[in-house]
Amino acid sequence: MFDTRELGRRPGALKRLSRTVDAPGSPVLGIDGVIGVPEGAPLELDLRLESVMEGVLVTGTARASAEGECVRCLEPLTVEVDADFQEMFSYPDADDRGRAADPADDAEDDEDRFFLEDGLFDLESVLRDAVVLALPMQPVCKETCAGLCSDCGIRLDENPGHHHDAVDIRWAALQGLAETVQDGEKDNMGGAEPGVDEKQEK
Report the pLDDT averaged over residues 174-201.
59
pLDDT score of 145 more than 50: yes
Instruction: Please name which of 51, 52, 45, 59 lies closest in space to residue 7, comparing C-alpha atoms.
Output: 51
| Run of H or E residues at 124 | helix 124-134
Q: What is the b/e burial string over 4-16, where b = at least 16 CB atoms within 10 angstroms of the residue's CB?
A: beeeeeeeeeebe
Q: Which of 81-95, 171-185, 186-200 has the lowest mean pLDDT?
A: 186-200
Nearest-Å Rg of the Cα atoms of the chain is 34
Residue range 170-197: average pLDDT?
61
Helix-, strand-, coil-residue percentages of the chain, each rounded to 5: 25, 30, 45
pLDDT tens for 100-114 read 445 445 555 556 788
Choose from 36-40, 90-94, 103-107, 148-152 the range with maximum mean pLDDT: 36-40
User: Residue 111's pLDDT is what?
Assistant: 64
Look over the chain and give the mean of its residue pLDDT values, rounded to a whole number. Answer: 80
Residues 151 and 164: beta-carbon distance below 8 Å: yes
- What are the pLDDT digits (tens) for 160-170? 778 777 666 67
Q: What are the residues facing 63 on neighbouring strands?
A: 44, 82
**Cβ–Cβ < 8 Å for 55, 84:** no
Tens of pLDDT along 19-78? 999 998 878 888 888 899 999 999 999 999 999 998 999 999 999 999 999 999 999 999
CA 93: distance to chain centroid?
Answer: 38
User: How many other C-beta atoms are found inside a 10 Å radius of the C-beta of residue 64?
Assistant: 25
Distance CA 130, CA 124 (A): 10
Q: In terms of C-beta density within 10 A (0-12 exposed, 13-18 middle, 19 or more buried), how is residue 172 classed?
A: exposed
